[in-house]
Amino acid sequence: MNRAIVLRIAAVFAGALACGSLFAAGVREQAVGLDFPDRLGAFTLKGRTQFPQARDGAVIAYEGTDGRGAVYVYDAGVGSIPAGVGSPIIHKHFQETVSALQRASTEGSVKAKVTPVKGSTISAFPGCGPQFMWRSDAIEMHGQTVVSRTYLTGFNNHFVKLRVTHPRNDDKNAEQFVQDVRKLLGKCG
């Protein structure tokens, strides 16, 4: 092959790679060094939002036909956050997130009734990926009830909090979302 043809083929491949990168789905969360894919389970990536206060970090939001999932990555101004769920720092922060949900349900312009479904506990998921502190609450608002699950773990000196909302009697997609996030955090392949 002559040199001009080789250069044209190389240029076409380079262009295809560049275009593929421009249109590739997913977002990078630099704080924890992870690339979040365009899909986790049945949920599709909606985007990443950086909060104004650095301590509040960012949220990577996903949505499905019957629920939502969000991954919050932040440090809350805490200097050192241990990995996993065994530290008192993680336990204390988890209780703060539970209290914040309770406050939001009573202080907002739209009142909601929050009822615990599963009290605070530590997961015992099999396989690769971190464990989480978690709980599940039923939230009744405007005559409808959904379940909101909150998960928290320490990861790469950050809190990683999952908030998954789904219909009360249909948790399959929520479960898959959590497992896919675990695999992503654990780099399980």
Question: Residue ranges per domain, the chain?
Answer: 26-186
Determine the pLDDT at residue 102.
82
**Is residue 162 classed as helix, strand or coil in its secondary structure?**
strand
Amino acid letter, 134: W
Q: Alpha-carbon distance 146 to 49, whole Å?
A: 24
User: What's the farthest any 2 CA atoms get from each other in the chain?
Assistant: 74
Residue 126: partners with Cβ closer than 8 Å, 6 or more residues away: none
Mean pLDDT, residues 10-29 taken together = 49
Q: Does domain 26-186 have CATH number 3.40.1000?
A: yes
pTM: 0.83
Residues 6+ positions from 166 with CB-CB distance below 8 Å? 66, 67, 146, 147, 149, 173, 174
pLDDT at residue 25 tops 70: no
Tens of pLDDT, residues 75-92: 999 999 999 999 999 999
DSSP, residue by residue, 1-25: --HHHHHHHHHHHHHHHHHHHHH--
CB count in 10 Å sphere of residue 19: 10
